[in-house]
Chain A
C-alpha cells in the first residue's frame, strides 16, 4: 500500500471516529486557551508599557524628592533647560479641598503642575480642551470623584488651604496612574504658580516634588549622569527604562505563574487525550487486524492512526487558541483600573502560534503512547478475538519508554520556549512536574486508603461501585487528576483570598478609629483636641511625628555605604535612603510586639544616649542588632540613638505604625507634627467635624476612614472577580478530561452493566453502583485537590503574606460537595448508554 493511498484511507477511515477523537483531543483545548490568553495578554501589556513608558514616568527622566528640590538641583535643572531639554515640574501634597459654598470637604491629592506638564501623553478633560486653562488662570481640574464627594459641579470654586480655584473641568483620562492610586483621595490639578497661595507648602509639610525631563539625547546616559551628580541631594533619579523594567517584571511574574497553571492544564489534558485514545484504540483493533490481513505493514497502520490523531490534535488546539484570543480580548476590561497603562488588545501571532504548536504537539505525543499498541495487532486477530486484551497491555515496550522520555523533554522544551531565562524555565518545568507529581501521589494515597477502608458488610452496590475504581485499566487516576487539579486551583485561590481579606476585616475592626487628622502642627494640637472633643467625638490617639534620615550606622556614614558598589543592590539601600517618620512613646501599642531586647525601662540610661526600638525587618535590612548605635539626621541635627529592642509590627491595622520608636525625651526639641486619630458618631458627624477643622486650620488634612475602606473593598472586589474567573476556568478545564476518561471505560462499563442486568440487577441497582463509583471518584478527587490546596494556601499565607492562616471550612466543604455532585452528574450522563440498551444488544456486541 502506498503512503498516498494510506493518507486517503486514513481520512476515510476516520469518518466514524472523528467525533470521538476530537472529544479526546479537546482535553487540551482549555490548556491551550490558558496559555494563549496569558501570553497574548502579557505581550499586549509589555508592548503597551514599552510604548507608554515615558508617559507613565512623565518624561524621559524624572527626579523625585520628598524634601523639595534643593538649590543645587534647581540650578542643574535650569542649566539643562538652557541646553535645550524641556522640563516639567509637579509638586504633590495632600490637602483638604473645601467647597466654600457649602463647607463640604474631601481630602485630595493636590498636584501643582508647571505649564509644560505633561511632557508625554495627553490629559483629556470633560468638557474637552480645558487643560490649557491651567496655563492662564487660577483653575483646578479635578477627578470626577471630588465633584461627587463635595456635591459640586464644574464652575464652582474650590478652596485649597488659603487659595481659591475655579473648577474648570474634570479629568477624563490621565496617563500613568492606576485607579487604585487614588485611594487617599481624588486628584486636583492646579497651576504651580498659584500653589504658594495655598500657603500649605510650609516647612515640614508632606509633599512630593518631581521634575520631568524631556531630552533629545540618550535618556539612559542622562539618568546615569544625573544620578552621579545628585547622589548627595537625596533625589531619586529614574529613567523611562527603569519604569518599564519594573512593570514588565511584574507582568512577567504573573505570566509565569499563570503559565504553570496553563502547562499543568495542558499536561492533564494530555492524560485525557491518552485515556480517550486508549478507548479509541480498543475499538480499532479489528480494523487494524483487517488492514494487516490486506497487506498493510504495522508501521503503516500506526501512521494511519497517528495522522488521524494529529489532525484532531491540531483542531483541538486551534479551538483552544481561538478561545484564548477571546479571553485575551476580555482581559483588559477586567483588569482596567488595576494597570498603569492603557492596554490595547490585539492578536499576538507569536503567542497564538506557540499555543497552537504546543497544544498540537502535546495532543500528538500523548496520543502516541496508546496508539503504539496498534503495532502489535496481528492479522490473526481477525480469526481469534480473545487476544484483544493482551494487545492493549503493552508491558515494557521500548518505544513506549521513548515516548515517555519525549514527553519529559517536551515539557522542558515548552518551558524554555516560553521564557528565555534558563532558571525561570527550569523553575517552570519543575513547578509543573511537582504539581502533577503531588497530585498523582495524593490521588494514589487516597485511593489506597479508600480501598483499605471497604468492608465486606457494606451494601453490595457500594462495594461493587468502589471495586470499579481498581478494575484493570481503570481511569481512576485520570479522573482524580483532573478533579484534583480543578479543586486545587479553586480552593487555593479561595483560601488565600479568605485569609487575606479576613485579615483585612480584622484589622479594620480592631481599630475603633474612623477619622484621622494629619499634618497637625505643634501649636495646633491643643486647639484641635478641644475642637474634636467639642463636636462630641473621641480622641483615641495623638501621635507626634518627627521626620529624619539615617546619617550613619555605627561608624559608617550612610552616604559612603550608598556609594559602596560592593553592597548588593537593594540590600538595605532603600532603608538607608528612606525618610523616616518616627515617634516617641513610653509603651507599645496593641499592633506591635517586642521580639528581641527589652522595651524602654522606667529609668533613663546612665550615659544619656537616646534609645529607640526598631521594626525587625528594617533592622535586618540595615544589618543592625540590639545594642548598635544609629546616628539620625533630624532635620539638620545629628542625634545618636542606641537600638534597645526590635518589634514585630502588624502593618495592616488602621493605625499609625512606625519603623523607629524613640524613648520620650530625646526628640522633645525636634520640629514635629502630629497625627490625631479619633472616633465620631458616623459619616455625617465626620463631615461636620472636617468642615469645622478645615475652617479653622486649613493646613490640617483629615480623612474619613470608611471612605478608604469602601475604595479598598471596591478594588478587592475587582481582584476577587478576576480570581473567580481563574477558578471557574480551573473547574471547567477538568470536564473534558473527565469525559475522555469516562469514554475510555464506557465499553467495559456497558458490558458489565448489561451482565448485571442479565443476572437480575434492576436499572436502579446498576445506577446506584455507578453513582457509588462516581461519588467515590468525585469525593476522593476533590478531596485530594482541597487538601493539597489547603497546604499550599497555608504556605502562601504564612510565608509570602506573613499573615496568620485562617483555616476555611465552609468553602472547601462546598467545593468538595459541588465537585462530587458534578462528577456524579457528568459520569451518569456519559454512561447513559448503559440504560438505553437492552441486554441482548450488548451481549451480541462483543
Chain B
C-alpha cells in the first residue's frame, strides 16, 4: 500500500546541509494502523510530508498505492491526494471562510465522483457520522477545538480515501476530546479498511496503533507491532 525506499531529506541550514531523514525504508500494508513516534526534531513530520507527497525527498522514493511519487508532477501528486489520501492536522486547518459543511464538501468539489449534486448529501451524511449533523452551518470560529477536529476528520474521509495521514491530531485537544477523535479514526480503520499513518508523541495514542515506527535523529530506530493495538481497538 505504502512503501518508503531509502528516503533521505536534507535541508539547507545557513549554507550547511542538515540531514532531517536518512535512509528510511519500510512498507505499510493496506488496512494497517501505524503510529510514527519520536522526540521533537526527530523527523516525524518531515517523514509524513514525504509519504503524503507534500514535499519531495532529496533521495529515495515513496510508492503510494503502486505509484512512484517521484514520477509525478506537483499537480499530479495533488490529484492523487484528492483521490486516495485524507489528512488531519494538529491545528485542524479548516478554511475559515467556509461553514463546517462546506469544508467537508471541498474534497468532493475538487475531485467530483458522482457529479457535484451528490456532494452535499454525502458531506451531510459524513458530518452526521462524526456527530456534527446539527452544526453543519457553523463557521470554524464558532466550533470548539474537538468539533473542529471532527469536521477535519469528516473532511478527511468524505472522499473514501485509501489512506489517512494524521499529524498530531490530538495535540491541541484535551484528553477526553482527543480520545473521541482516536476512536473515530480507529473505527474508520476497522470498518472501511482505511490505512492510517499517524504521527504523535503521545504514547497513549501510539499504543492504540497496530504498529509503531520510532524515529530518532532522522532514522528509524524501532519498528514493532504493538500488542495493545488490537485490544485497544475493541474498547
Contacts and interface: CB of A to CB of B under 8 A. Distances in A.
Interface in A764-815: 764-765
A457 interface: yes
Report which residue of A755, A763, A764 has the largest number of chain B beta carbons within 10 angstroms of its beta carbon.
Answer: A755
B226 interface: no
A386 interface: yes
Nearest to B75: A762
A827 to B, nearest CB: 17
A846 interface: yes
Interface stretch (B62-70, B81-89, B198-206): B81-89
B110 interface: yes
Contact of A840 (B49, B82, B141): B49
B110 A759 contact: yes
Interface string A803-846: 00000000000000000000000000000000000111101101
A759 B96 contact: no
A389 B142 CA distance: 13
Does more than half of chain B's interface fall in helix, strand or loop, or is it mixed? helix
A840 B78 CA distance: 13
Contacts of A763: 74-75, 78
A843 B79 contact: no
B78 A762 contact: yes
Interface string A745-761: 00010011001111111
Contacts of A464: 109
Contacts of A762: 75, 78-79
Given A839-B54, A844-B45, 11 more contacts: A386-B91, A389-B141, A456-B120, A751-B93, A755-B93, A758-B54, A759-B82, A759-B87, A760-B81, A760-B82, A760-B107
Interface stretch (A42-50, A70-78, A247-255, A467-475): A467-475
Contact of B110 (A386, A468, A471, A761): A761
A460 interface: yes
Nearest to A751: B93
30 contacts: A386-B91, A389-B141, A456-B120, A457-B116, A460-B109, A464-B109, A467-B97, A468-B97, A470-B97, A472-B96, A472-B139, A474-B97, A748-B96, A756-B110, A757-B78, A758-B93, A759-B82, A759-B87, A759-B107, A760-B79, A760-B81, A760-B107, A760-B110, A761-B110, A763-B75, A763-B78, A838-B55, A840-B46, A841-B55, A843-B93
Nearest to B52: A758
Contacts of B106: 756, 759
B95 interface: yes
Contact of A471 (B93, B97, B111, B155): B97
B76 to A, nearest CB: 8
Interface of A: 386, 389, 456-457, 460, 464, 467-468, 470-472, 474, 748, 751-752, 755-765, 838-841, 843-844, 846
Contact of A472 (B45, B97, B102, B159): B97
Contacts of B55: 838-841
A470 B102 CA distance: 14
A386 B81 CA distance: 28
Nearest to B155: A759
Interface string B133-176: 00000010100000000000001000100000000000010000
Contacts of A389: 141
A758 B80 CA distance: 10
Contacts of A765: 110
Contact of A758 (B79, B87, B109): B87
A282 B220 CA distance: 38
A130 B225 CA distance: 112
Nearest to B99: A467
A748 B141 CA distance: 15
Nearest to B156: A759
A838 B102 CA distance: 25
Given A765-B110, A840-B55, A844-B45, A471 B78 contact: no
B110 A838 contact: no
Nearest to A766: B78
Interface residues of B, number: 37
A394 B93 CA distance: 23
B98 interface: yes
B92 to A, nearest CB: 10
A793 B108 CA distance: 49
A763 B79 CA distance: 10
A460 B79 contact: no
A457 B155 CA distance: 20
Contact of A843 (B54, B96, B102): B54
A770 B172 CA distance: 31
Report which residue of A468, A758, A846 has the largest number of chain B beta carbons within 10 angstroms of its beta carbon.
Answer: A758
Contacts of A759: 81-82, 87, 106-107, 110, 155
A578 to B, nearest CB: 68
A762 B75 CA distance: 5
A170 to B, nearest CB: 71
Contacts of B155: 759
A254 B116 CA distance: 58
A751 B95 CA distance: 9
A331 to B, nearest CB: 46
Contacts of B87: 758-759
Contacts of A846: 91
Nearest to B107: A759
A756 B102 CA distance: 13
A758 B82 CA distance: 8
A755 B95 contact: yes
A839 B54 CA distance: 5
A468 B52 CA distance: 27
A299 B146 CA distance: 36
A33 B87 CA distance: 51
A764 B55 CA distance: 18
A761 B82 contact: yes
Nearest to A467: B97
Contacts of A456: 120
B46 to A, nearest CB: 8
A570 B91 CA distance: 75
A748 B85 CA distance: 24
Given A759-B107, A844-B45, A752 B75 contact: no
Nearest to B46: A840
A760 B97 contact: no
Contacts of A839: 49, 54-55
Give me the 10 closest cross-chain CB pairs, A-B, nearest first. A760-B82, A471-B97, A840-B55, A460-B109, A762-B75, A840-B49, A839-B54, A840-B54, A760-B81, A760-B110
A761 B89 contact: no
Interface in B209-233: none
Contacts of B93: 751, 755, 758, 843
Contacts of A474: 97
Nearest to A765: B110
Given A759-B87, A759-B106, A843-B54, A752 B78 contact: no
A837 to B, nearest CB: 10
A838 B109 contact: no
Contacts of B172: 386
A456 B99 CA distance: 14
A518 B161 CA distance: 93
Contacts of A838: 54-56, 74
Given A752-B95, A759-B107, A460 B82 contact: no
